[in-house]
Structures are given as C-alpha cells and as structure tokens.
Amino acid sequence: MARARAATEAALRSERREVEDALRLAHGAMERSSEAISVIEASGRVAWCNVAACRLLGLPRDQVLGRLAWEVDRSLTEPAWAQLWATLGS
C-alpha cells in the first residue's frame, strides 16, 4: 500500500512539474511578445497585461492592472465591452 501511494505521489509531483513548466513557458512567451496582450475579467478589470500592451497604452503596468479596460483604453467603451463579452460567452 505504501509503495502504491509513493508511486502515485511521485507521478503527481512529476505531472505538477510538467504543468508548471508549461505555464512558465506560456507566460514567458506572452510577456515577451511584441503584440499587446491583456487578460480582462468579465467585469472589465485588467487582470494582466504584457509590456507591449503597456507600451501601446502609454502607461506603466501598475497604472493598468486592476483598472477597468475602458479607463485605460479610450477606444473601448463599457457598452462595447459588455457586447464583446456577451459575444465571447456565446
């Protein structure tokens, strides 16, 4: 029984390392992309953005994160965001 449990735990640790490595790789690729990338929650709050997005917006990351997308990107309005989010959800 102990052997099976140890094998299961080792497999889980290995799987976790693989997932963490994949997440680091994806995060690094998004962070270093020359394209502006942002993660915006359903509420419209900016949860994450890369350096290219900050450069495009002309704002440092600490002035973008946590704010509403239409507060930092004047080309976006709250109604337009609601419509876009509804479209993405369907």
pLDDT digits (tens, 9 = 90+) for 20-56: 999 999 999 999 999 999 999 999 999 999 999 999 9
Mean pLDDT of all residues in the chain? Answer: 93
Q: CA-CA distances (angstroms) from residue 11 to 2, 4, 8, 20, 87?
A: 14, 11, 5, 14, 40
**pLDDT of amino acid 5:** 82
Report yes or no: 87 and 71 within 8 Å, Cβ to Cβ. no
Structure tokens at 32: 């270093």
What pTM value is reported for the model? 0.78
Q: Residue 90 pLDDT more than 80? A: no
**pLDDT of amino acid 8:** 86
Report yes or no: 19 and 26 within 8 Å, Cβ to Cβ. no
Place of tokens 């609601």: 82
